[in-house]
Amino acid sequence: MIAYIIRRLLLFIPMAVGMVVVTFGLLLIIPGDPASVLLGQEASPEAIERLRDSLGLNDPWYVRLWDYFANLLSGDFGTSIFQNQPVATIILGRLGATLELAVAALVIATVLGLAMGVISAMRQGSIVDTVTMIFAQLGVSMPVYWLGLLLMLAFAVQLGWLPAIGRGPPLPEAFWAALTGKPQVLMDSLSHLLLPALALSAMPAAIISRLTRTSMLEMLREDFVRTAYAKGLRRPRVIIRHVLRNALLPVLSVIGLRFGMLLGGAVLTESIFAWPGLGQLTITAISQRDLPLIQGIVLTFALIFALVNLIVDLLYAAVDPRVRLG
């Protein structure tokens, strides 16, 4: 088991190298140059050329790639061209906000999705089933930025219940404050988090609910379910112990994959809700062609994705005894 985890973690290294090379290649291909963005429209061509030289952009690509790896080995992710700060500092400053948003959205999506899926599977063909599946269809088809603006219009502008934009105190800090007798800090934090997390959770909730439903329906028809009923077990026990437990397996791996998608969705959600996370940073970095920062973000996302996949695989083994990791 330990050996398995170590092996998986080591596998991340070639993957990271691959990611860096691919991103680097993409950045070479896409046109546009940070020097001209940095100096603006009014800059003279000579000024742009001079800045390109000092940024090392005129070096051959293999020299730049080699330099990047050499720095990476010594733990240096480079310096952002635009913010003039270490890339690692910038990313670490933003990571918490994005993880908070993504985890909150995932929790909402899982709870909503499982509940909706189980209920509609149990009442297949009923009005409840139809309504739930219409919601699921809407959830899949609504773009997150549109849903976000709609939620903002309803709950912040019209009803005035929740703040429209921004982030409150970080959630872990807020929990601590609540424990030490300042519950309003937690409320502040949660009230900022709710709208963006809801907007972001719509799509995965819809997908999880549909998958849970299908998977449940499949299991309900299995022989072992009939056997369980034949043994005289009561319905709730059959559903929970026999049907749901088996139906959850495919759902679990999808939840893991969805986490990656959530990070992608966070890019748009963060822009709408002015959530100061990695997503917003990504957009800015790309639009400015801030090469070291883009590289750093891609690496971070890849690392998160790899870690989540590892966790899902471990969970899989815990839930399904047929899967043995070795």
Partner 1 sequence: MKKLLLSTTALILAMAIGPALAQEEIVVGTDVDAGTLDARLTRDTTAYRVADLVYSGLVHITPKLEAVPDLVESWETPDPQTFVFKLREGLKFSDGTPLTADDVVYTYTTLLDPDFNAPMRTLYTPIKSVEKVDDLTVKFNLDTPYAPLLSYLDLGIVPQELAEGGQDLATQPVGAGPMKLASWNRGAEIVLEANPNYWAGAPKIEKVTLKIIPDNSARAQAFEAGDLDVIQSPLSPQDISRLAADDRFGNAIMPGLGVTYINFNTKDPLLADPKMRQAFAMLVDQQTIVGDIYQGVDEVATSVLLPSSWAYSPEIKQPTFNLEGAVALFNELGWTDSNGDGILDKDGKNLTVTLATHSEDPNRVQTVEFLQAMFSQAGVDAKTQITDWPSFSTNYVQKSQHQIALLGWLNLVDPDRLLFSQLTTGGSTNWGGYSNPKVDELLEKGRSSLDQKERAAAYQEAAKILAEELPYFIVSYQGYQLFYDKDFPSEVNATPRGYLRGLIGMETQ
Residue 153 or 319 with smaller CB distance to partner 1: 153
Asked if 154 interacts with partner 1 (CB under 8 A), we say: no
Q: In the window 132-151, what residues touch partner 1 (CB under 8 A)?
A: 145, 148-149
For partner 1, the binding residue among 18, 25, 166, 170 (CB under 8 A) is: 166
Interactions with partner 1, residue window 63-102 (CB under 8 A): 82-85, 90, 93-94
Residues 175-214 that bind partner 1 (CB under 8 A): none
The answer to whether 56 contacts partner 1 (rule: CB under 8 A) is no
Residue 122 near partner 1 by CB under 8 A: no
Q: What angle do CA 227, 213, 312 make, to 5 degrees?
A: 95
Which residue lies nearer to partner 1 by CB, 82 or 135?
A: 82
Does 173 bind partner 1 (CB under 8 A)? Our answer is: no
Check binding of 36 to partner 1 (CB under 8 A): yes
Provide φ and ψ at 304, rounded to 5°: -60, -45
Which x/- pattern over 211-250 shows residues binding partner 1 (rule: CB under 8 A)? ----------------------------------------
Instruction: Rule CB under 8 A: choose which of 101, 109, 152, 243 binds partner 1.
Output: 152
What's the CA gap between 318 and 308, in Å, rounded?
A: 15
Q: Is 28 in the site for partner 1 (CB under 8 A)?
A: no
Shortest distance in whole angstroms from residue 120 CB to partner 1 = 34
Which three-class secondary structure string do you get for the chain? CHHHHHHHHHHHHHHHHHHHHHHHHHHHHCCCCHHHHHHCCCCCHHHHHHHHHHHCCCCCHHHHHHHHHHHHHCCCCCECCCCCCEHHHHHHHHHHHHHHHHHHHHHHHHHHHHHHHHHHHHCCCCHHHHHHHHHHHHHHHCCHHHHHHHHHHHHHHHCCCCCCCCCCCCHHHHHHHHHCCCHHHHHHHHHHHHHHHHHHHHHHHHHHHHHHHHHHHHHHCCHHHHHHHHCCCCHHHHHHHHHHHHHHHHHHHHHHHHHHHHHHHHHHHHHHHCCCCHHHHHHHHHHHCCHHHHHHHHHHHHHHHHHHHHHHHHHHHHHCCCCCCC
Q: Does 29 bind partner 1 (CB under 8 A)?
A: no
Q: State yes or no: residue 22 binds partner 1 (CB under 8 A).
A: no
Site for partner 1 contains 30 (CB under 8 A): yes
251-280 binders of partner 1 (CB under 8 A) = 271-274, 276-277, 280
Name the residue nearer to partner 1 (CB basis): 111 or 274. 274
- Binding residues for partner 1 (CB under 8 A): 30-34, 36-48, 50-51, 54, 82-85, 90, 93-94, 145, 148-149, 152-153, 156-157, 160, 163-167, 271-274, 276-277, 280-281, 283-284, 287-289
